[in-house]
Amino acid sequence: MILAAGRGERMRPLTDETPKPMLEVRGRPLIEWHILHLREAGFTDIVVNVSWLKEKLIVFLGDGSRFGVNVTVCEEPPGALETAGGIANALAHLGERFVVVNGDTWTNFDFGTLREHPGDGMLAHLVLVPNPPHHPGGDFVLDAGFVRAEGEPRLTFSGIGAYHRELFAGLPPGAHKLAPLLRAAMARGRVSGELHEGVWSDVGTPQRLAELNGRD
């Protein structure tokens, strides 16, 4: 699943007319890079949630055939449903275990390594990265293959993860953040993780987008 429903407030005015995942990096929209990388890793059934400027994303994605994949679009109401709410809204189109990636990231992470995650008894497997300059405090701790909510040193959640549908069981319809669900699962020792030290960027501001495109 590619998360593509957000408004992209920090990217304005670029996102006033263009959905954030359709902003171009090195000649291709961000979401197209994700689709191609997922396809290369063997993922051919892809769900995309949409809300802001959803018509443009729907037209661009089509049924996915021009990218060599099958795309299912899940529409959300204005304002979207946050991460957990969006995933829960799409569960009917997802399997028992599935991979999720934020549509506004740029990375060379090998999604194929997530095929066997989350493992037995785990509800989630998170890909963490070294803290970028704009997020020095990090999010979570990687401790012997498990992800913890507290401790040091802290790392940043990349927006890439593999999940078991049980994590979202019983979540009522509506907008819900992912972090509370993850923290509850961490407290029970049911979140694993890994560190990715390769290419990764949260394309959250016009400046970061320009840097990726080789401009000052």
Domain residue extents for the chain: 2-212
Q: Write out pLDDT tens, residues 39-86.
A: 999 999 999 999 999 999 999 999 999 999 999 999 999 988 999 999
Q: Write out pLDDT tens, residues 87-101.
A: 999 999 999 999 999
Return phi, psi of residue 208, to 5°: -65, -35
Cα angle 135-10-2, degrees, rounded to a multiple of 5? 80
Cα angle 78-34-43, degrees, rounded to a multiple of 5? 105
CATH of domain 2-212: 3.90.550.10
* Mean pLDDT value across the chain: 93
Largest distance between two CA atoms of the chain: 47
49 vs 19, 26, 95, 126, CA distance in Å?
12, 24, 16, 20
> What is the pLDDT at residue 216?
38
Percentage of the chain beyond pLDDT 90 is 79
The answer to whether the beta carbons of residues 48 and 1 sit under 8 Å apart is yes
